[in-house]
Structure 1
């Protein structure tokens, strides 16, 4: 296979579509490469030698790949692009599976770096790392300040009963991958259910908001929020709880879970919560519940990966250690609820 022709992307077919739909955009033959690091949907950069764009499509051979997923991602960034929320400019949505074998969309390429580990942040130094993480909070406040109806997203989700549905959804996910005893996970799930908080007014929720899902550009400012596949209308504090969870240092040598929380200068979780509360005006008194829910959700995701590993369905290295992490996440979830 040609290096200019990664799996799932046919540059010639893509160019033919772009020439028809956006004449004059592409000035020469396209080459493409897969961007590593995505969790599910595939991301490619494509270039004509002068300009660069980004293509997003579902995983190869994914039986549940529907136009719906790509349409949702394209819809949310299209709605947010005219606002102050930093997202790439969308260029084209293609739901014709004849072109690349699945629905996809094309957006502008945005300069910036996704920081996935404390080691990658180290060259920035403590002060710049602190500024980058605080800007992560400020950008989240900006996202949650967008009026969904004003940008055409009033029907983007079902906010009523959002937390209850989320909890049931992840409980079902857990049941689907149970093949060993996990001390405390049922207690964590049940306690979350008993203490369900009352949600504030709904907002656009990213669903996987953390440092390595944004690009940091010049001046350590956030140039784009990426990976909108989990986005919906719902409880904004679920985004905050996840951000807090990822900001708690985990001393797990050799862990395949990316964490930036141990980087010098990384603000403590309490400071992130206080900053969010001050800038958003929201009541964050139930943040312990949302953080514990994030620990539970990640425990379920990791257990699912471990389950597939035991069935021989994972590809690549590091999966043998995933199972050992699950009890750590359960313990953190229970402790967070007790302290909250």
Structure 2
């Protein structure tokens, strides 16, 4: 997986990237029109927007996004996103087209991806600033999601084992390795009530929510962050979307937005589910199982982050700062709602210092 190197400080990214492109890619004479600037959103990568002067090679023209991956899972995440986004762009699905990928972590402190900048606002931000977006945003979200689940899988490297088998094995390893005893009853329930694998697997995003959708003039221009993508039952992907709609923290919300949030969550949930079902069928029992699975999966992640740091899964160190008691309690209740089983993730008295170590 390559030598793990500390991420390059933001102040040095501009010079290091320029040096890399000149020396490794032979692109002499490069100059910035806009030096790399930090995009703070996102738990997985250090992300920047930049633009080179117009005389730059054709592949580097226009605004670009730089994603620098972190931790031992950074390289697999880079490979997955580069391969998948390139294929999805060929299928005219709304994604940012990749420009180049570098697997060597020595240049910027981790493997990195350059891709085209896509115009648009996060759907969540659009809704927070214009409540009328609730009239079309959830429908756009559902339509783009159902379209993903109907795409052909040709040209993609699929896993060699069934989706749910691999997922339950991973969850068991987390519970065992990090001594998450309070989650053990939930794992027992998931294994006992496991449905059959999907007869016709679909491409899954597995982090599909309003912060990962860009919209412009009433349509989706890009789906972001494909590092969790997989192939499996489309109910699992719909369940993750519903979990995020129902429980994801909205840290940028104003006091008024927080007051309105329960109504917004309810409308987005109902309109998304209604619109999705107009495109693809959803079996109620199977969907409820995967809603419980989605909550358990997130709690298991948080348990591993607290025990060993988010880096073990390829997330930035600061991601553990999002693991807050209220959010964890929401996930525990969510699992119990769909499974009937009470589980508990034990939290430390204070968030580890690593939460403060990265932007």
TM-score relative to the length of structure 1 = 0.78
- Runs of at least 5 residues in structure 1 that lack an aligned partner in the other structure: none
Partner of 2:357: none
The 3-state SS of whatever aligns with 2:221 is strand
Deviations 1:85-144 (A, max 9, x none): 200111112234454343322110011122557xx633212x312311221111011111
Q: How many residues align?
A: 316
Aligned 1:243-282 pairs, distance under 5 A: 243-248=241-246, 262=262, 264=264, 267=267, 269-281=269-281
Aligned 1:83-232 pairs, distance under 5 A: 83-116=91-124, 121-125=127-131, 127-149=132-154, 152-153=155-156, 155-158=157-160, 160-178=161-179, 182=182, 185-200=183-198, 201-219=200-218, 221-232=219-230
Deviation at 1:4, TM superposition (A): 7.5
Cα 1:103/1:246, change in 2 over 3 Å: closer
Partner of 1:70: 78
Partner of 2:11: 5
| 1:35 is aligned to 2:42 | no
Deviation at 1:328, TM superposition (A): 3.4
Deviation at 1:218, TM superposition (A): 2.2
- Runs of at least 5 residues in structure 2 that lack an aligned partner in the other structure: 1-7, 55-61, 310-315, 342-359
Partner of 2:66: 55
Deviation at 1:81, TM superposition (A): 0.2
The 3-state SS of whatever aligns with 1:55 is strand
Deviation at 1:208, TM superposition (A): 1.0
Q: Distance in 2 between matches of 1:112 and 1:6?
A: 28
Cα 1:98/1:116, change in 2 over 3 Å: same
Deviation at 1:186, TM superposition (A): 2.2
Are the aligned partners of 1:115 and 1:212 in contact in 2 as well (CA < 8 Å)? yes
Are the aligned partners of 2:134 and 2:268 in contact in 1 as well (CA < 8 Å)? no
Aligned Cα RMSD in Å?
3.7
Quick check: which one's helix share is greater? Answer: 2
Q: Distance in 2 between matches of 1:99 and 1:32?
A: 15
Deviation at 1:79, TM superposition (A): 0.3
Are the aligned partners of 1:277 and 1:283 in contact in 2 as well (CA < 8 Å)? no
Q: Distance in 2 between matches of 1:320 and 1:92?
A: 31
Q: Distance in 2 between matches of 1:144 and 1:75?
A: 17
Cα 1:90/1:242, change in 2 over 3 Å: same
Cα 1:186/1:84, change in 2 over 3 Å: same
The 3-state SS of whatever aligns with 1:93 is strand
Cα 1:84/1:103, change in 2 over 3 Å: same
Partner of 1:20: 26
